[in-house]
């Protein structure tokens, strides 16, 4: 494979990040009825069951789309590791760690959405079972935050160690990555609270960490695309 083709693949992978964010907001947020906010954890089994019956068409479509296009996060995470590989000149522990945790993030999020999709499969079933699947889906996403936090930290640490003349990320992006990873920590409290800011539909349990994740993805994508364009221009000059 020639250099230009490789760079084209890198560019496609980097653009998977913004595309993932767009589709995630539409499928998980709008079709999944999680925007402007998820249903409350305080709802009874009958109310949760009614929510699924009432919004069945949207929910089914939303989870099908989400489960397909969450895969965009895989090439995007692989592209981060490709960038990191050029920075880590000796041991590439952080590069591999970022790649592994990026893949595990897809698994964790997919499992949660799969639970919601299964709840849509037989909406006539016992509402208590639907509520159980609904709860497992949410807590799958909320309680396993550490995986994505490790991904963000690995990227940030390598970015801060980038001493090249033109570093991949400005230092503020690396610190943003660390902050975004730390914003997930309170999600563990969703196991204890069904109301207030720490519930899975609250400010700290939902709005801040999910917004931080998507903003981080967009910001990182911008600088990845910028770096690839710079290398493309350099390759064109050398080829000319």
Q: Concatenated DSSP letters for 38-91?
A: PPPTT--HHHHHHHHHHTHHHHHHHHHHHHHHGGGHHHHHHHHHHHHHHH--S-
Backbone dihedral angles phi then psi of residue 113, each to the nearest 5 degrees: -70, -30
Taking a C-beta distance cutoff of 8 angstroms, is the pair 145, 213 a contact? Answer: no
Q: What's the pLDDT score for residue 87?
A: 93
Residue 104 and residue 146: Cα distance in Å, rounded?
A: 11
Give the residue-averaged pLDDT of 151-158.
Answer: 98
Mean pLDDT (the chain) is 96
Give the residue-averaged pLDDT of 201-220.
Answer: 97
- Indicate whether 120 pLDDT > 90: yes
Give the residue-averaged pLDDT of 192-203.
Answer: 97
- Indicate whether 114 pLDDT > 70: yes
Q: Checking phi first, is residue 167 left (phi over 0); if not, alpha (psi -120 to 50) or beta?
A: beta
C-beta atoms surrounding 5 within 10 Å: 9
* Boundaries of every domain in the chain: 3-226
Cα angle 113, 149, 63 (rounded to 5 degrees) comes to 10
- Indicate whether 55 pLDDT > 90: yes
Q: What's the pLDDT score for residue 35?
A: 97
Give the residue-averaged pLDDT of 55-72.
Answer: 98
Q: What's the pLDDT score for residue 90?
A: 81
Closest by CA position to 25, among listed 56, 68, 62: 62
Residue 152 and residue 176: Cα distance in Å, rounded?
A: 9
Q: What's the pLDDT score for residue 237?
A: 74
- Indicate whether 129 pLDDT > 70: yes
- Indicate whether 240 pLDDT > 70: no
Q: What's the pLDDT score for residue 235?
A: 79
Q: What's the pLDDT score for residue 96?
A: 97
Tokens 């006539």 sit on residue = 124
Give the model's confidence band at 128: pLDDT under 50 very low, under 70 low, under 90 confident, else very high.
Answer: very high
Give the residue-averaged pLDDT of 169-183.
Answer: 97
Give the residue-averaged pLDDT of 178-198.
Answer: 97
Residue 80 and residue 16: Cα distance in Å, rounded?
A: 11
Tell me: cis bond preceding 36? Omega within 30 of 0 counts: yes
Q: What's the pLDDT score for residue 224?
A: 97
Residues of the chain above pLDDT 90, percent: 92
Closest by CA position to 13, among listed 224, 235, 204, 159: 224
Q: Concatenated DSSP letters for 35-47?
A: SS-PPPTT--HHH
* CA–CA distances in Å: residue 115 to residues 44, 48, 87: 18, 14, 39
- Indicate whether 177 pLDDT > 90: yes
- Indicate whether 17 pLDDT > 90: yes
Q: How many residues does the chain have?
A: 240
């Amino acid at each position: 494979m020639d250099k230009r083709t490789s760079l084209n693949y890198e560019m496609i992978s980097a653009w998977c990040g913004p595309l993932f964010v767009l589709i995630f907001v539409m499928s998980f947020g709008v079709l999944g009825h999680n925007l402007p906010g998820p249903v409350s954890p305080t709802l009874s089994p009958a109310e949760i069951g009614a929510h699924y019956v009432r919004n069945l068409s949207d929910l089914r479509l939303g989870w099908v789309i989400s489960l397909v296009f969450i895969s965009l996060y895989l090439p995007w995470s692989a592209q981060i590791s490709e960038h990191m590989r050029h920075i880590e000149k000796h041991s590439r522990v952080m590069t591999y760690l970022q790649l592994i945790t990026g893949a595990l993030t897809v698994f964790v999020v997919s499992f949660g959405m799969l639970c919601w999709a299964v709840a849509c499969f037989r909406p006539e079933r016992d509402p208590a079972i639907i509520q159980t699947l609904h709860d497992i889906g949410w807590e799958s996403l909320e309680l396993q935050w550490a995986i994505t936090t490790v991904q963000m930290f690995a990227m940030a640490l390598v970015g801060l160690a980038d001493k090249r003349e033109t570093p991949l990320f400005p230092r503020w992006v690396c610190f943003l990555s660390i902050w975004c990873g730390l914003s997930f920590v309170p999600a563990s409290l969703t196991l204890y609270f069904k109301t207030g800011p720490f519930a899975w539909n609250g400010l700290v349990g939902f709005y801040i960490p999910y917004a931080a994740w998507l903003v981080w993805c967009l910001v990182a994508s911008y600088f990845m695309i910028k770096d690839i364009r710079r290398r493309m221009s350099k390759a064109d000059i050398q080829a000319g």
